[in-house]
Structure 1
Amino acid sequence: MLTGFLLCGHTNQIEEARVVDLTEAKSENIRTWELYCDTLKRAGLQLQRQEAPQDDFNQAEGMRYLSRLARIGLEMFVEGGDEQFPTFMVPSHETAKIGADNPDMGYLAARINGQYTYRVSGLRGSAASINFSTKRGGYDKSGKLEPGGFIDSNSLTFAQDGSFELVISQHPQPGNWLKIAPDSIQLLIRQVFLDRANEKPAQLKIERIDADGKPFPINPGKLRNNLVQAAHFVENTATTFANWAQSYEGHINQLPPADQTLCQSVGGDPNIFYYHSRWQLAEDEALVIHLDRIPNCEYWNIQVNNYWMESLDYRYFRISLNQHSAKPNPDGSVTLVIAHRDPGTSNWLETAGHDDGTMCFRWIGSKEQVHPRTYVVKLNELPLGL
């Protein structure tokens, strides 16, 4: 009888422990969800910044921007947050955009761990160029995405049919190889299209090759951590680029060279020389951007963004031009015009209902930079023949 009593008592203790464990787990999940929601709420403070436009149009666009960042964050950290079994997600596209996303670029990103070895394989597609870079830091932690290893299509070997494999590891590998730093957290892929509507994107997959098995359906602790990371991603991304937009107030309607080191610290392409600024136009004004000549380069483009540094809706408006779509002047120079309505010029960029916003110009693969010259004129004073 005594033994049975002891066994019964032991069983009760186990059951009580299970109840405590379940209660603690439930509380932890609730706390995590509340932290996620509180962090998103705090991200909304970026809409209230004194220098940010406060009209209903721009504020609504800012609110949509935050919702888009939340969607990107969930895709990146919750759905694609397993570095052992990585998958590609699209960090910027037609309806979700970060930091002057380029309408001519196709982006792919995968969460990785610098301690592992990965392989990317597939078909190159028809993009003018494609590059792969490993990144350190992370918007969720520091608001930065610092450079690691880098390789582009100029250095990659492709089969005749465009197929290829790229190994990503700390130590050199035969064939195509990209070095990964021990603290790497992301693989970022950029494809540059000259005529995106008619191009064929690369078909790619990524896999870890120094282990096998299948992912466990869900790891509660990791999920909670990834959800919190997703929220911090929203807050830090919104803050980072709101700071950038604020910094442009000293050169509205100009296009000076950007701080290239700063651009690289948030994930910029090392082959790109960037110009960032803000534009602001009345209904009867036009911003003229003139390039005296085009240096030898792989690519250039100009694009119009909103205040929150999202490219305007390039599905329906012509808000960007590149060397394929812009018409040069007879002397080889190029003149671009940003205006609210069609001024009858060849290289008109639309404002898509915006009175002001940000803008970006890029050179890719140029050993020299021809800086854009800008000036504002009345629409009816635009020179003929532009």
Structure 2
Amino acid sequence: MKDWPDYADLLKGAEQLLERTPFPDDERLKAQLWKQFAMNLSQGYFLLFQSTPDHPEFAPFENSVFLAQPNPDAVYYYAPVDGRGTYRVTGERGNAPVTGFALGSRIIGMDPMPGKGLGNFDIDDLALDADGRFEVIFSTERPDGHQGNWLPMPPETDFILVRQFSYDWGNERDVRLAIERVDVASPIRPPLTSEEIDAKLTHLFAGYMRNLSGISIGAVQRCAERGFVNRFNLNSFQELGNSQDWPQAYFEAVFDIADDEALIIESELPDQRPYWNVQVIDTLWNQVEYVYRQSSLNGLQAAVDPDGRFRAVLSHNDPGIANWLDTGGNNHGMMIGRWYRCSSQPTPSITKVRFAELDRHLPEHSVRIDAQGRAEALRRRRIGSQLRRKW
């Protein structure tokens, strides 16, 4: 077992990640990166110490304060598993638009590059009772004689991730879940040994903390290097661990605007659109404050113009347009949107304009909002967000 200063020494060198950002001499960006390091340590503790594959429990992942590009509509829960084992998940579906399981190896941050996604399963495809309750077995092979819900788990699986996407924040019933391993000899969880604690702390300080920031910075960097600056690209994010069967397409763009500029985002909408959204993230791939700022919109929150198109304005100040996307004071960052099980996957357009000249570039029928309306929308947002179960 190391002494505590030895663990602190493992943090040294992470500051070199600042050189990979587009503005390494920016004091504000440096402060944000140091903050992200602290965030990574907090997140990593949950993932490494909350439970074990033999005695799993769902832990919060990328929720609320863990802002390395979570979907603001989403709550995520992570449980470590042994892909050769047998697990039973017991729960209630709730009524959010999207709830399901993702299987994979080496979740983002565990290694310098994420592992593979190994399967996605919608809870709606399971047999549920009249109240939405269910049990499901995860294992490599269906257990002999088991007639209930079963989902295949490849032997290389080392985690089960739960995704829940909400539309009507605070007014939907959240999913409730418990997980147990049913092929272990004893249900009693033994304490971690000194060697196990040492290995986990070493991974947390020397690996997870810098891995997650490196991946985050790289995601923004790659988008810019591919030329998608103020221009959207459709992406599957398979390089970040999404499996090929994930029924969601992303549209992403690096944004670059001056203080007096704005971006107009415009898109047709799919005829069938069970779930979609768009969000604003910063240079480090952190979601911009979303409880107290309108830095994201989903298909329920967004106002659709009378011509059936979605138009939004990304700007530093309130443009008086209902679909304002707040930059959070960032001149540079990313926008990411999602089409989940939609009948089409349009690529929105982006037009850069002077903020003062917005009205010249927007149709007269674009949905406007006054100060009172904005205040009420922001109040609904912050109350709805806090009423959601994120922990």
TM-score (norm 2): 0.85
- Which of 312, 320, 324 is equivalent to 1:344? 320
Q: Which amino acid aligns with 2:222?
A: S
1:238 is matched by which residue type in structure 2?
A: S
Query: For each residue in 1:158-214, what CA deviation from the matched residue of structure 2 results, as whole angstroms up to 9, or x when unmatched?
Result: 111121112111112532222111121111010010122322211111111112331
Overall identity of the aligned pairs, in %: 28
Contact 2:100 2:164 in 1 (8 A): yes
Q: What is aligned with 2:200?
A: 226
> 1:132 aligns to what?
101
Name 2:91's counterpart in structure 1.
Answer: 122
**Aligned pairs for 1:255-274 within 5 A:** 255-258=232-235, 260-263=237-240, 265=241, 270-274=246-250
User: Does residue 180 of structure 2 align to residue 204 of structure 1?
Assistant: no
Aligned-partner Cα distance in 2 for 1:78–1:267: 26
Q: CA RMSD in A?
A: 2.0
Q: Where do residues 319-330 of structure 1 align in structure 2 (5 Å cutoff)?
A: 319-330=295-306
Instruction: Please tell me whether Structure 1 or Structure 2 has the larger radius of gyration of its CA atoms.
Output: 1
Output aligned runs, 1:112-261, within 5 Å: 112-138=81-107, 139-172=109-142, 173-211=146-184, 212-231=186-205, 232-249=207-224, 250-258=227-235, 260-261=237-238
Which amino acid in structure 2 is aligned with residue 116 of structure 1? Answer: G
- Confirm or deny: 8 A CA contact 2:270 2:343 kept in the other structure: no
Q: Which amino acid in 2 is paired with 1:233?
A: Y
- Residue in structure 2 matched with residue 40 of structure 1 by the alignment: 11
CA distance in 1, matches of 2:13, 2:82: 29
Moved more, 104-113 or 133-142: 133-142
Q: How many residues align?
A: 354
Structure 2 residue aligned with 1:83, among 29, 48, 53?
53
> TM-score, normalised on structure 1?
0.86
Task: Tell me which moved more, 54-63 or 161-170.
Answer: 54-63
Residue 284 of structure 1: aligned partner: 260
> Which residue of the partner structure matches residue 358 of structure 1?
334
Q: In the alignment, residue 350 of structure 1 is paired with which amino acid? A: D
**How far does residue 52 in structure 1 lie from its aligned partner after superposition?**
4.0
- Structure 2: runs of 5+ lacking an equivalent: 367-391
In structure 2, the CA distance between the partners of 1:168 and 1:34, relative to structure 1 (3 Å rule), is farther
Shift of the 200–41 alpha-carbon distance from structure 1 to 2, 3 Å rule, reads farther
What per-residue deviation string (whole Å, max 9, x for no partner) do you get for residues 19-70 of structure 1? Answer: xxxxxxxxx333xx56643443333321232524532222211211111011
Structure 1 150/50 Cα, relative in aligned 2: closer, same or farther at 3 Å?
Answer: closer
1:316 to 280, 292, 297: 292
Q: Distance in 2 between matches of 1:129 and 1:135?
A: 19
Q: Are 2:120 and 2:243, in contact at CA under 8 Å, matched by a contact in 1? A: no
For the structure 1 residues 293 and 129, does the alpha-carbon distance in structure 2 shift closer, same or farther, using more than 3 Å as the test? closer
Instruction: Report the equivalent of 2:383.
Output: none
Shift of 1:105: 0.7
- Could you say if the C-alpha distance between residues 259 and 191 of structure 1 is closer, same or farther in structure 2, counting changes exceeding 3 Å? closer
Q: Distance in 2 between matches of 1:359 and 1:109?
A: 25
Give 3-state SS (helix, strand or coil) of 1:40's partner: coil
Call closer, same or farther: CA 1:196–1:39 in 2, change over 3 Å.
farther
> 1:93 is matched with which residue?
63
Structure 1 unaligned runs (5+)?
Answer: 1-27
Aligned counterpart in structure 2 of residue 370 of structure 1, from 346, 359, 364: 346
Q: Which amino acid aligns with 1:153?
A: I
- Kept in 2: contact 1:290–1:373 (CA 8 A): yes
**Aligned ranges for residues 15-54 of structure 1 at < 5 Å?**
28-30=1-3, 36-49=7-20, 51-54=22-25
Q: Secondary structure at the match of 1:154?
A: helix
Please give the alpha-carbon distance, in whole angstroms, between the structure 2 residues aligned to 1:142 and 1:53: 21
2:27 paired with 1:56: yes
